[in-house]
């Protein structure tokens, strides 16, 4: 991840190892979330309050809270932004439940819903965001993350816990149990004169540190000064530990006549040499790939099983990681940037994969249709049996004969209605109008052997199934909404469905009941989540099969 720092800012931050320690303020964010509404408690997360007290005693301006909701978390983060200003050191302590995807991890408020790729972006507190904030204080920023035992339900490729973090240079990150995290902050890392490395060595066994670990930096007042005891030597040691261009230039600004000016300038001069990555980047740039060309590349990578984390024509971290993985699998130089020949190879591979998937889908579709036709007869549905029709619809809700089965059941229902006593008929009409699980259950309680008891049970089962898949369906609906398809785009989808043998209804850009059914049939035949909504994977497969 690209993290931009100004030379002036890093100079101020790095001076924290010298006499400026007493001049700059220190800020801390501390949150302990224990009482989650939808998952088991994050036991001992409330111990974060002990860390907050210790930080206050150490002179930090502390923004803290416990059992914060989504809205309270946003307000707390806004308050942190107001307090940061020219703060010297930054400490962030988070105790509670976390969730992660392949690209980010999130700290969860207590009222968060089941984590999915859509909800996390507006409900959770992104660790990538916090790391970006911390990156502005290299050598003077630390994150302490307390994870309780036990997990939670997740969907859409999201996993409980913390994933791999892209830790910026100069930022320290510690993970452990909530109890040990709260303990080590106050006891070890805020101990007078303790450097980061020494404090980590003294921390409880569950605490694991990563990122920038050096005794040249400290979170406590009167922290260590490395390299001989002078402020300049301590500053230089921190620069060497961080080891990037911004740190070197900050040293030159802070000590223009210092003892290590020659070394810093020599280090900077050595960076002018073009790296293989620079060359690969320039070669790709020379291709002048427009947005559509980049989208085609992302579609090809996705079709081949490489996750670009979006098909938007923008090559971000997800696309670069996917390109690198593909290059590695192909045995070619891994740079994350593409040459013309590689783009052609990728396109050929994707076309071959599309043909393979289309052939496989046709075979599976034929097998499904054969089984569908056989069950239509074997269940008794073909003969018009009411029980047979119901069995067929339970097993093949979008089957070849689903429309016929529904019409025949409707005729049976109408016939029953005509022969019903007036009271039960009125009750059933009210139940149908309400169309809720409670209404159908009330009917069954009142008429357990009523004329429409089977209809009530069938509808009740459908409603329960819908409720169980509510989160998955909502995520799929949100993913389709994010595509922002206009009527023309929807018409293209309808044409592509029709092209490969599905009936989406009129090609008019309006997704109606028949269109949703066609999408579900397509998804079912390709082992995709059956939602009836256009997810990214659904669109990629549809475009591949219909357009190649």
Reduce the secondary structure of 40-61 to three states and give it as a string: CCCCCHHHHHHHHHHHHHCCCE
Question: Is residue 523 in a domain?
Answer: yes
Question: Is residue 373 in a domain?
Answer: no
How many whole angstroms separate alpha carbon 108 and alpha carbon 115?
A: 9
Q: What is the pLDDT of residues 53-104, one digit of tens each?
A: 999 999 999 999 999 999 999 999 988 988 887 778 899 999 999 999 878 8
State the pLDDT at residue 16.
38
How many whole angstroms separate alpha carbon 37 and alpha carbon 518?
A: 38
The three-class DSSP label of residue 11 is helix
Question: Is residue 6 in a domain?
Answer: no
Same domain assignment for residues 26 and 157: yes
**Residue 138: count of CB within 10 angstroms of its CB:** 27
State the pLDDT at residue 230.
60
**Is the predicted pLDDT of residue 15 greater than 60, yes or no?**
no
Which alpha helices (H) appear in 7-144, and where do they start and end? 7-14, 48-57, 70-84, 120-123, 127-135
| Spatial contact of 74 and 107, defined as CB atoms under 8 Å apart | no
Nearest to 301 by CA among 290, 310, 289: 310
Same domain assignment for residues 261 and 281: no
How many whole angstroms separate alpha carbon 351 and alpha carbon 304?
A: 10
How many whole angstroms separate alpha carbon 213 and alpha carbon 199?
A: 10
Same domain assignment for residues 139 and 214: yes
Same domain assignment for residues 269 and 287: no
**Is the predicted pLDDT of residue 466 greater than 60, yes or no?**
yes
Question: Is residue 78 in a domain?
Answer: yes
State the pLDDT at residue 377.
92
**Is the predicted pLDDT of residue 142 greater than 90, yes or no?**
yes
- Please count the structural domains in the chain: 5
State the pLDDT at residue 547.
62
Same domain assignment for residues 107 and 186: yes
Any idea what the CATH number is for the domain that residue 528 is in?
Answer: 1.10.101
The last residue of one of the domains, among 421, 454, 469, is: 469
Same domain assignment for residues 87 and 215: yes
Question: Is residue 5 in a domain?
Answer: no
Same domain assignment for residues 148 and 121: yes
Question: Is residue 155 in a domain?
Answer: yes
**Is the predicted pLDDT of residue 208 greater than 90, yes or no?**
yes
Same domain assignment for residues 268 and 333: no
Question: Is residue 368 in a domain?
Answer: no
**Is the predicted pLDDT of residue 421 greater than 80, yes or no?**
no
State the pLDDT at residue 273.
63
**Is the predicted pLDDT of residue 338 greater than 90, yes or no?**
yes
- 128 versus 309: the higher-pLDDT residue is 128
**Is the predicted pLDDT of residue 487 greater than 80, yes or no?**
yes
Note the pTM of the prediction, 2 decimals.
0.44
Nearest to 145 by CA among 45, 39, 69, 34: 45
Q: How confident is the model at residue 361 (pLDDT cuts 50, 70, 90)?
A: confident
Instruction: Identify the H or E element spanning 29.
Output: strand 27-32
Same domain assignment for residues 174 and 253: no
How many whole angstroms separate alpha carbon 63 and alpha carbon 92?
A: 10
In sequence order, what DSSP letters do the residues of 294-351 get, joined into one string?
HHHHHHHHHHTT---S--SS---HHHHHHHHHHHHHHTS---S---HHHHHHHHHHHH
Any idea what the CATH number is for the domain that residue 109 is in?
Answer: 3.40.50.1460
**Residue 362: count of CB within 10 angstroms of its CB:** 14
Alpha-carbon torsion, ordered 272, 273, 274, 275, to 10 deg:
-110
Counting Cβ atoms within 10 Å, is residue 488 exposed (0-12), middle (13-18) or buried (19+)?
A: exposed
Same domain assignment for residues 427 and 505: no
State the pLDDT at residue 253.
81
Q: Can you give the residue range of the structural domain that contains 264?
A: 227-273
Same domain assignment for residues 92 and 140: yes
List the 125-126 sheet strands across, edge first. Answer: 125-126, 105-107, 98-100, 159-160
How many whole angstroms separate alpha carbon 15 and alpha carbon 89?
A: 11
**Residue 326: count of CB within 10 angstroms of its CB:** 23
Q: How confident is the model at residue 129 (pLDDT cuts 50, 70, 90)?
A: very high
Same domain assignment for residues 187 and 283: no
């Amino acid at each position: 991840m690209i993290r931009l720092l100004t030379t002036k800012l890093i100079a101020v931050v790095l001076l924290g190892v010298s006499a400026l320690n007493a001049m700059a303020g220190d800020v801390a964010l501390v949150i302990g979330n224990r009482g989650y509404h939808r998952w088991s408690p994050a036991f001992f997360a409330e111990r974060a309050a002990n860390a907050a007290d210790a930080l206050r005693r150490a002179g930090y301006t502390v923004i803290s809270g416990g059992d914060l909701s989504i809205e309270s978390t946003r307000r707390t983060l806004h308050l942190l932004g107001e307090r940061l200003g020219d703060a010297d050191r930054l400490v962030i302590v988070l105790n509670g439940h976390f969730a992660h995807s392949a690209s980010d991890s999130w700290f969860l408020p207590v009222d968060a819903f089941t984590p999915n790729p859509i909800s996390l972006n507006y409900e959770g507190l992104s660790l990538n965001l916090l790391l970006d904030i911390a990156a502005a204080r290299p050598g003077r920023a630390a994150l302490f993350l307390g994870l309780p035992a036990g997990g939670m339900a997740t969907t859409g490729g999201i996993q409980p816990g913390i994933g791999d973090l892209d830790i910026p240079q100069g930022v320290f990150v510690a993970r452990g149990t909530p109890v040990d995290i709260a303990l080590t902050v106050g006891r070890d890392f805020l101990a007078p004169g303790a450097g980061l490395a020494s404090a980590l060595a003294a921390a409880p066994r569950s605490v694991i540190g990563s990122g920038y670990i050096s005794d040249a930096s400290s979170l406590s007042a009167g922290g260590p000064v490395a390299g001989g005891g002078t402020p300049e030597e301590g500053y230089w040691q921190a620069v060497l530990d961080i080891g990037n261009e911004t740190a070197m230039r900050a040293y030159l600004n802070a000590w223009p006549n210092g003892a290590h000016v020659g070394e810093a300038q020599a280090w900077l001069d050595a960076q002018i040499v073009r790296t293989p990555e620079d060359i690969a980047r320039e070669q790709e740039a020379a291709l002048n790939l427009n947005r559509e060309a980049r989208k085609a590349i992302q579609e090809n990578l996705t079709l081949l099983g490489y996750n670009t984390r979006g098909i938007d024509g923008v090559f971000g971290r997800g696309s670069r990681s996917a390109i690198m993985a593909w290059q590695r699998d192909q045995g070619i130089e891994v740079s994350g940037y593409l040459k013309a020949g590689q783009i052609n190879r990728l396109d050929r591979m994707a076309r071959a994969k599309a043909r393979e998937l289309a052939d496989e889908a046709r075979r599976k579709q034929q097998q499904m249709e054969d089984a569908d036709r056989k069950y239509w007869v074997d269940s008794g549905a073909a003969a018009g049996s009411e029980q047979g029709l119901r069995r067929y619809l339970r097993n093949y809700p979008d089957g070849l004969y689903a429309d016929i089965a529904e019409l025949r059941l409707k005729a049976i229902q109408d016939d029953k209605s005509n022969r019903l006593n007036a009271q039960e008929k009125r009750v059933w009409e009210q139940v149908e109008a309400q169309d809720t699980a409670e209404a159908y259950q009330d009917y069954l309680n009142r008429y357990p052997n009523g004329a429409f008891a089977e209809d009530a049970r069938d509808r009740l089962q459908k409603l329960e199934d819908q409720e169980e898949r509510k989160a998955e369906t909502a995520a799929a609906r949100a993913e389709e909404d994010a595509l922002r398809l206009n009527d023309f785009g929807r018409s293209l989808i309808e044409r592509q469905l029709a092209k490969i043998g599905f009936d989406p209804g009129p090609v008019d850009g309006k997704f109606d009941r028949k269109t949703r059914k066609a999408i579900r049939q397509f998804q079912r035949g390709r082992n995709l989540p059956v939602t009836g909504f256009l997810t990214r994977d659904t669109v990629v497969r549809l475009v591949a099969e219909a357009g190649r």
